[in-house]
A and B are shown apart, each in its own frame.
Chain A
Amino acid sequence: MENMKLSCTAVTKINKICEEHGNNPGELINILHKSQNELGYLPHEVQELIAKNLNVPVNRVNGVVSFYAFFTEKPKGKYPISVCLGTACYVRGAEKLIDEVKKNLNIEVGQTTADGVFSLDCLRCVGACGLAPVMIIGGKVYGNVDPKNVRSILEGIDTSAK
């Protein structure tokens, strides 16, 4: 691992997670879950390290990471934005919400703003269809969102708070 760009602490953490799961390839998804919780995302180096620990080809790890929408290879913003594209939200204009967020933050779906504050993703149904259309920002759910209010919602978030 000469060209490892990960910090030593990150390597130690990932190694520990793999060990807790017995370096068992069958535990790959659980290991990826915990690793992403720990680091916020799963960069190539982490996938390579996990593949090495589990003694599986890195393409197997990458295949799982790239298959599940939950896993991300890029760092998310401090306030990840998820717009629900479930059926109810969709028919109530969720796509317009996405367009508004894109316009306001100048990013595409799957991207993070240059200052690392916001990132934008879509998801399918958060189980709050009665509030459609729904978006989640940094864990907080906003319901019945009018596209016209997106700007003020974003501006209302105190991005300086820890």
Chain B
Amino acid sequence: MEQNKINITIDNRPFSVKKGTTILDAAKANGIEIPTLCHINLKGTCVDNHPASCRICVVEVGGRRNLAPACATVCTEGMEVRTNSIRVLKARKTILELILSNHPNDCLVCPKSGNCELQALAQKLKIHETPYADGERSKHEVESSVSIVRDMNKCILCRRCETMCNDVQTVGAIGAINRGFITTVAPAFGQKLSESECTYCGQCVAVCPVGALTERDNTGKLIDDLSDPNKIVVVQTAPAVRVAIGEEFGYPAGTIVTGKLVTALKQLGFKYVFDTNFAADLTIMEEGSELLDRLSRFLGGDKSVPLPILTSCCPAWVNFFERQFPDMLNIPSTARSPQQMFGSIAKTYWAEKMGVPREKIVVVSIMPCLAKKYECGRDEFKVDGNPDVDYSLSTRELAAFIKQANINFNSLEDSEFDSPLGASTGAAAIFGATGGVMEAALRTAYELYTGKTLEKIDFTEVRGLEGVRQATINLNGFELKIGIAHGLGYARRMLEDIRHGKSEYHAIEIMACPGGCIGGGGQPLHHGKMETINARHKAIYEEDKNMPLRKSHENPYIQQLYEEFLGKPLGEKAHKLLHTHYFSKQ
């Protein structure tokens, strides 16, 4: 017998498990699914919430008087666990009935219906009546921010959102306030999200098991615009959407459905189906050039150049440093995010080409993200009040809309994105995963800097899902040190190192969501399954490998855009249309 193994029985079946394993994990590893509600653990990331507060996972342990929460009880030698004894089943049912006693019975009209862990559990445990539901209910006002809708009447106090906001993202916008019956998870003093530190990263929404935290739904607006004959509605889809939306239609996680996605968007009535990936290539041209510009000035002896340069594609990350690091606003790249670059180019270059005024064009984006909804509305991305991107829908909203429109997604033929704002390279595809922007930038920066052809396109050292990664790239003898962080908690560490002069990096990529955009707050819910994130991650690099062109600067339509319209990267026009500035929000 191995030293670090112990013997237990679960439901009378003998198992040998590693010391330190919880009953929940031991059961799961052996194919026994003990139901949970508050527990979430994305293995391999820092996402771990097991306050043992919901008590749904209670089990009977031989020799122990009371029932034990499986998520927080560690196995011991000889332990006899029963997950399905009469006592356990009765207790679990009562616990759920008690949770439901303070939960509205409005499943029919709840935005989370069909995707709700509480609803699924009530079905699984065959709850057909709610014996304790006649008493008082807690009452909270529903808050609808630009990105996130909070309906705390539906909250079951699992604290997953609090863990995401405080421990994983270190944003500290929401936490439990008050006590007993009136306890709620909210910003301090019961303020609104817009008054708090909230970055709209949406990770609270991504883990909420019930309908308490959902996205602000823009589908209604979209239907209105699509049926308006005076409007030209164009759409852009982000790189992470195509590797995830298939899950909503029964495909295994990580299925690439780009072609079907384009067809569905055309059938929905979008006049032109374009690609955010085109703008991602454009971002690399600008951000890559900015990196090289700062670097060459720095190497030329100008020590005032702010280094490291930080990526600026992620709007939640931008919110984070504007609120929490307002003394460092000169460090991030000034390049706008791909979503905004797309909107800017669509309503100038493309509008000119088509001979239509910008007011007639409605630019809609499909994003894995909830912060993108907020980003569209930022004042600096409007021209005379007309936004470059009119509004954004999440991956989930689009999937629901496709179903609502009676489109049988699974039987769709593939189609291609429209020209010219639909062409992209593999470098753009990998924007969807943590490390992707940096890898794409390296592919271009290397060739622009050295003048040599990059033989080994895959920078595998920057890939992966560890919270912080680093690599050194040789550029004609110069050792370029790069860092990558995903999840705002890791980003904070990077920023604090820079603030204290301890950072050795020249360039850092940061994405707010664990995993990057593939794990975004607008994606199909992963329900705590890390396998889902891993599969999307793999698919992103698969998509890259399948592309005929894999370096942004080789995109012929990007070259054409610079020739016909923009001039050169970091040029005057590019600066006006593709760059931005940041504001202290403290």
Q: Do the beta carbons of A63 and B176 come within 8 Å of each other?
A: yes
Segment at the interface with A among B25-33, B166-174, B258-266: B166-174
- Of the candidates A44, A59, A68, A69, the one whose C-beta lies within 8 Å of that of B172 is A59
Q: Do the beta carbons of A57 and B166 come within 8 Å of each other?
A: yes
- Of the candidates A57, A62, A69, A73, the one whose C-beta lies within 8 Å of that of B197 is A57
Complex Cα–Cα for A47 and B189 (A): 10
Complex Cα–Cα for A61 and B189 (A): 10
Q: Which residues of B contact A63 (CB under 8 A)?
A: 175-177, 188
Q: Do the beta carbons of A56 and B175 come within 8 Å of each other?
A: no
Report the nearest B residue to A2, measured CB to CB: B586
Q: A44-B189, A47-B188 are in contact. Are A59 and B179 (CB under 8 A)?
A: no
B155-174 CB mask vs A (1 if < 8 Å, else 0) is 00000000000100001111
Q: Do the beta carbons of A62 and B188 come within 8 Å of each other?
A: yes
Complex Cα–Cα for A73 and B177 (A): 13
Q: Which residues A4-42 have CB closer than 8 A to chain B?
A: none
Min CB gap B392→A, angstroms = 27
Interface: B187 (CB within 8 A) = yes
Complex Cα–Cα for A54 and B54 (A): 31
Complex Cα–Cα for A67 and B181 (A): 11
Q: Do the beta carbons of A57 and B178 come within 8 Å of each other?
A: no
Interface: A66 (CB within 8 A) = yes
Q: Which residues of A contact B176 (CB under 8 A)?
A: 63, 67
Q: A44-B189, A47-B188 are in contact. Are A56 and B177 (CB under 8 A)?
A: no
Q: Which residues of B contact A73 (CB under 8 A)?
A: 189
| Residue from B176, B179, B186, B189 having most chain A Cβ neighbours under 10 A | B189
Q: Which residues of A contact B175 (CB under 8 A)?
A: 57, 59-60, 62-63
Q: Do the beta carbons of B177 and A62 come within 8 Å of each other?
A: yes
Q: Do the beta carbons of B179 and A56 come within 8 Å of each other?
A: no
Q: Which residues of B contact A109 (CB under 8 A)?
A: none
- Of the candidates B166, B173, B174, B178, the one whose C-beta lies within 8 Å of that of A66 is B178
Q: Which residues of A contact B196 (CB under 8 A)?
A: 59
Q: Do the beta carbons of A66 and B172 come within 8 Å of each other?
A: no
Min CB gap A117→B, angstroms = 27
- Of the candidates A44, A61, A66, the one whose C-beta lies within 8 Å of that of B179 is A66
Q: Do the beta carbons of B188 and A56 come within 8 Å of each other?
A: no
* Tally of contacts, chain A with chain B, CB under 8 A: 46
Q: Do the beta carbons of A57 and B173 come within 8 Å of each other?
A: yes
Interface: A154 (CB within 8 A) = no
Interface: A58 (CB within 8 A) = yes
Q: Which residues of B contact A57 (CB under 8 A)?
A: 166, 171-173, 175, 188, 197
Q: Do the beta carbons of A62 and B179 come within 8 Å of each other?
A: no
Complex Cα–Cα for A134 and B178 (A): 27
Min CB gap B186→A, angstroms = 8
- Of the candidates B172, B178, B179, B189, the one whose C-beta lies within 8 Å of that of A60 is B172
Complex Cα–Cα for A62 and B196 (A): 13
Q: Which residues of B contact A60 (CB under 8 A)?
A: 166, 172, 175
Min CB gap A17→B, angstroms = 20
Min CB gap A50→B, angstroms = 11
Q: Which residues of A contact B189 (CB under 8 A)?
A: 44, 47, 62, 73
Q: Do the beta carbons of A59 and B178 come within 8 Å of each other?
A: no
Q: Which residues of B contact A68 (CB under 8 A)?
A: 179
Min CB gap B483→A, angstroms = 23
A49-83 CB mask vs B (1 if < 8 Å, else 0) is 00000001111111100111100010000000000
Report the nearest B residue to A56, measured CB to CB: B172
Q: Do the beta carbons of B178 and A61 come within 8 Å of each other?
A: no
Q: Which residues of B contact A59 (CB under 8 A)?
A: 166, 172-175, 177, 186-188, 196
Min CB gap A108→B, angstroms = 15
Q: Do the beta carbons of B179 and A58 come within 8 Å of each other?
A: no
Q: Which residues of B contact A62 (CB under 8 A)?
A: 175, 177, 188-189
Complex Cα–Cα for A44 and B463 (A): 44
Min CB gap A132→B, angstroms = 24
Q: Which residues of A contact B177 (CB under 8 A)?
A: 59, 62-63, 66-67
Min CB gap B68→A, angstroms = 27
Q: Which residues A105-151 have CB closer than 8 A to chain B?
A: none
Min CB gap A77→B, angstroms = 22
- Of the candidates B171, B173, B179, the one whose C-beta lies within 8 Å of that of A67 is B179
Complex Cα–Cα for A69 and B180 (A): 11
Complex Cα–Cα for A44 and B174 (A): 16
Q: Which residues of A contact B174 (CB under 8 A)?
A: 59
Q: Which residues of B contact A66 (CB under 8 A)?
A: 177-179
Min CB gap B223→A, angstroms = 37
| Residue from B176, B186, B188, B197 having most chain A Cβ neighbours under 10 A | B188
Q: Do the beta carbons of B178 and A58 come within 8 Å of each other?
A: no
Q: Do the beta carbons of A61 and B188 come within 8 Å of each other?
A: yes
Q: Which residues of B contact A44 (CB under 8 A)?
A: 188-189
Report the nearest B residue to A51, measured CB to CB: B188
Q: Which residues B487-513 have CB closer than 8 A to chain A?
A: none
Report the nearest A residue to B180, measured CB to CB: A67
Complex Cα–Cα for A60 and B176 (A): 8
B332-345 CB mask vs A (1 if < 8 Å, else 0) is 00000000000000
Q: Which residues of A contact B188 (CB under 8 A)?
A: 44, 47, 57-59, 61-63
Report the nearest A residue to B187, measured CB to CB: A59
Q: Which residues of A contact B186 (CB under 8 A)?
A: 59
A96-108 CB mask vs B (1 if < 8 Å, else 0) is 0000000000000
Complex Cα–Cα for A47 and B175 (A): 14
Min CB gap B187→A, angstroms = 6
Complex Cα–Cα for A47 and B177 (A): 13
Complex Cα–Cα for A59 and B175 (A): 6
Complex Cα–Cα for A59 and B161 (A): 13
| Residue from A63, A67, A68, A73 having most chain B Cβ neighbours under 10 A | A63
Q: Which residues of A contact B172 (CB under 8 A)?
A: 56-60
Complex Cα–Cα for A57 and B171 (A): 8
Complex Cα–Cα for A34 and B498 (A): 36
Complex Cα–Cα for A62 and B172 (A): 12
Complex Cα–Cα for A62 and B175 (A): 9
Complex Cα–Cα for A45 and B174 (A): 18
Complex Cα–Cα for A66 and B179 (A): 7
Extra inter-chain contacts (4) besides given A47-B189, A61-B188, A66-B177, CB under 8 Å: A59-B186, A62-B188, A63-B175, A67-B177
The 3 A-B pairs with the shortest beta carbon distances in the complex, nearest first, are A57-B172, A59-B175, A62-B188
8 contacts between A and B (CB under 8 A): A44-B188, A57-B166, A57-B188, A59-B172, A59-B174, A59-B186, A62-B188, A63-B175
